[in-house]
Structure 1
Amino acid sequence: MATSDRVLAYLGSTRNIVGSGLALLGLVLHFLGLAGSFWPVVVIGLYGVGALLTPPDRVRLTISHAEVETRQLRADLDALVPKVSATRFPDDVVAKVGGLAAILRDILARAEALTSSPDQLHVVSQAIRDYLPTSLEAYANLPRSYALTRRGERERSAHEELMAQLDLLETGLTKVADAVYQGDEQALRDQGRFLRDRFGGSELDI
């Protein structure tokens, strides 16, 4: 990798972002008169602390063909979420959809693990392209006053029904996410077992 590419990669890294944020905090302390005459040292020190203590970005050394399969799902999700705005939906619905989107984006970021399980990929795909938009669309087509009103003592309002459906989706997607994370954990354990078998003996075994 060329030097300029490495510099650009670092500038966009989590470590640089966190370090810069802490350095900015140091400048704020200086302007408030709390950093003293050694404020440049404080700013540099805070940047260093942030850059050194922040975990490195997730490393992927293999070429992923699964990324192609999940790219369109991410695009579909990114197109759906902005449509769920406070002008059309209650705040709790907007917040819940935001939480679901965060879970889905985290799952989609693990394309290899997701696409290795057709059942999990199907659930994620249906959630983005069918389950979630169908529930939201049905609610959005109702007048707001009607959606918030119960029709009977034991019958949910449309708003309550939508929130219940979103809760069910959250439960299902959380299970998919847990399965994906367990796959990452198992891969780490398998690698550890391999390294112990390979390098855990005496030097004569190498």
Structure 2
Amino acid sequence: MIDLGPLSWMVQVGAAFAIAFFAQSVFSSRGRHGRTVIRAMIPVVVLTLLGAAWLPHPIAGILIGYFGSRAFGHWGEARSGLLAAALSAAALMALGASWLMFPLFFMALGWLASGGPSRGRRRVRAPKVEDKPAELPAQAGGTPVQVAAPAVGEGPLAPYLADGRVPAQARAQLVALNLRTQEALALLKDQGLEGTEGFFVARAIREEYAPEAVQAYLKLPRSLADTGVIQDGKTGAALLTEQLELLLDGVQEIIAGSLQSGGQALLTHGRFLRERFAKVEQDLRVPVMVPVADKVK
């Protein structure tokens, strides 16, 4: 230990700030990276050597919480951080917190008993939809009509729905895009509007715009795709979800337009029916016969 004499109180104050800095660093989104843990550990070592002999003990307690939160989740994502934390634990034990080996030993046993390395394997499954087709209620004793449910795992967006590199929010948006574009194309086709701009835009969103957005995201470095700022404080993941949201809004406008088009046709047909059957009703109306006696009176 280095004795700084009258300035030792500054070391004690700095040690308090080092505890806050260490906790904030390791439990942040960047805490899964080894360089973040090492950077937070440097002032701890320096201040301990300068006279804050008590400092390794609270840092060791924080480190136990870090191991518990990172190792028992998807530990593969924080592998470098956990390795740096293990080196930090060795340094803390050398600086005086030798008791740290006992909780870490039992945590390691619990980690191995709960699956160990296999806990880091991300299992991603394609989104499921019900295989049972939807049924329309029977009308006037007829047989219920079955309509096949749209298949989420098919089409040009299907490969990205099961890709673990794509953020969960973006995968949910892709599922919605897959269903909405399929719905929009089917509606426009049924209305005979296959040659319209809306049809081509919906198909382009499904086959070009959405896949290209995901492909651009997947080209980013994996370690920085969700944390590195690209523009206006937004990460690659944030930009991807923003672009997919714009595409969802575009598809929804196309569906709303097809609703107006189909609704207009329905209203026109309704006016025709009213004019047609109102005239028939008037022609078939039976005149009321007045008795002759009543006429004489």
Q: TM-score, normalised by structure 2?
A: 0.42
Instruction: Give the unaligned 5+ runs of structure 1.
Output: 1-11, 17-49, 60-73
Aligned pair partner of 1:81 in 123, 142, 157: 157
Higher relative contact order (CA 8 A, sep 6+): 1
Aligned length: 144
1:149 alignment counterpart: 227
Aligned pair partner of 1:136 in 200, 203, 214: 214
Aligned pair partner of 2:259 in 181, 191, 198: 181
Q: Does 1:193 align with 2:271?
A: yes
What residue identity is the alignment partner of 2:243?
Q
* CA RMSD, 1 decimal: 3.2
1:162 alignment counterpart: 240
2:167 alignment counterpart: 90
Superposition map of 1:91-130 within 5 A:
91-110=168-187, 111-113=189-191, 115-116=193-194, 118-130=196-208
Decide which moves more: 192-201 or 103-112.
103-112
Decide which moves more: 140-149 or 187-196.
140-149
Instruction: Give the unaligned 5+ runs of structure 2.
Output: 1-131, 285-297
CA contact (8 A) 1:114 1:121 kept: no
Query: In the TM superposition, what is the alpha-carbon distance from 1:58 to its structure 2 partner?
Result: 8.8
What residue identity is the alignment partner of 1:79?
G
Change (3 A) 1:193 1:153: closer
Deviations along 1:65-116, whole A, 9 cap, x unmatched? xxxxxxxxx99x9332221124231111110100111111111222133635
Deviations along 1:172-192, whole A, 9 cap, x unmatched? 111001001111211111111
Change (3 A) 1:116 1:130: closer
| Identity %, equivalent residues | 27
What residue identity is the alignment partner of 2:283?
L
Q: Does 1:204 align with 2:283?
A: yes
What residue identity is the alignment partner of 1:200?
A
Higher helix share: 1
Q: TM-score, normalised by structure 1?
A: 0.59
